[in-house]
Structure 1
Amino acid sequence: MAWCGNLFTLLIKPVIYFFNQPSLLRHVRDILPRTFNNNLLKFEPEYADDSDRLGSILRESKKYATVFISIEAKVWNQDHNKITDIGLSTWYTGSFDPGRYSHYWQVKDNLSLRNECTANEPDTFMFGSTGLVEEGADIALILDAMFKSLISQPQRVAIVGHDVHSTIGLLKTYWEPPGSIMILDTQRIWQVQYGRVDKVTLEDALDMTLGAVYNKCWLHNAGNDARFILNLLEAQGGLILRAQNDVGLDFEHVLR
């Protein structure tokens, strides 16, 4: 084993020599904090595109009508392939009907499934009547029909969700969004606006965002949450436009 010791000695000698040189040590001491600080200064939120895209859509809403459609899906926490509830809300901007419409369906095949650790309030939908659908084909038919009707109109369409890609992933077994549709994530926009990379719940994002309208008692129902996601998006859009200091921009007029 003597050869191992000799080999180790040969390898470690250059390292010992390097750190025994005072000038080199001072150089390392000086450069490390500077490099670390430079890396901190270069930090940028990872998801700036969603925020920029929302600002662009709202600024152009006088020229182009846009409909935002939010999607929220609840699943059984013991099997994420079991969808229990679906909520949709639409918000029309730059049109003659700037209304907001919400829909909610329970999947009757899974009505008996109850989450033990994840909040879900299937009986508290406050923006219309509750529908019943069968898992599988019915989910695909409803979503396809909704988006087909929206795409057929002369307007831009954007899917919105809070952690929207996770929601789309839950629905992937039955449905995938059309490839031409824009996708916006209120979670990512929140991360940009607060300079954060961690995730935030819909409730906390609503609570922290100035101007977001919601009722805490109605959260955790897929239909209500879909509605509140649009309310959050509207408040986020207001903050984006105000931060950009658009000259003469009337935010209320833009949205209505």
Structure 2
Amino acid sequence: MQTSSPDPEYDPAAYGRNFADVYDRWYGDVSDIDATVEFVAGLAEEGPGLGLVLELGIGTGRLALPLSERGLSVAGIDASTEMVELLRAKRGGAAIPVQIADMADPVIRRGPPARVVLAAYNTLVNLPSEAAQQRCLLNVAARLEPGGSFVSEMFVPAARMPSQRRTTPTRLGGDQIVLAATEVEPAGQTVVGEHIELIDGGVRVRPWRLRYLYPDQLDALAAAAGLELVGRWGGWRRQPFTDKSADNVSLYRLP
């Protein structure tokens, strides 16, 4: 079930509709899958038995399938039927339960308690506003079992994000050219962009939008949801987090 968003201009299914057909090809190896699986598996194996791993923005199964193959119990949330159809068409994908819903919608609180909730590769910043991000973390806390873990991965914004517009080539090869046009709006902490694909003599525009978070802002949202920061790293291999880190992997726990 998918309900209407409190953010009237936000369509939670838009990203999947715009990128599902190229997601695996463009983003299949965008992060360290092996290290992510080991990190998450370690959390799921804490306590008696194997706990449920609930992935927000499960998409085409880039992480969910390797987690399942590792022997973990995995479920997912995603607003995009297009993405989830691709997951279900893959080997083992049909066995992973997925709820089609906006992760900021309280409807996702319905379901079995999770030992781990995972929001990987900028998932949380795809939500349109601070209020939506807060609602999502309240939902996370409601789904976690006592002592359960929430782990988030996102990019680290520059300390002073400049207000700018730019267009850069991102993929060149054969008969395909992809340009990324982005506009940064520091006042709202948003980046609005389009991937402009020139292929076979045609043009395909794939719009996207994110609202970035600084680490201290993420901590404040988590604390408001009752989640306590356990640790922060510069990557899934637990690299130290420094002022030069490009990635923010943060682990929170429900008391």
Structures share a fold, TM > 0.5? Answer: no
TM-score scaled by structure 2? Answer: 0.25
Name the one with the larger strand percent. 2
Name the one with the larger helix percent. 1
Larger radius of gyration: 1
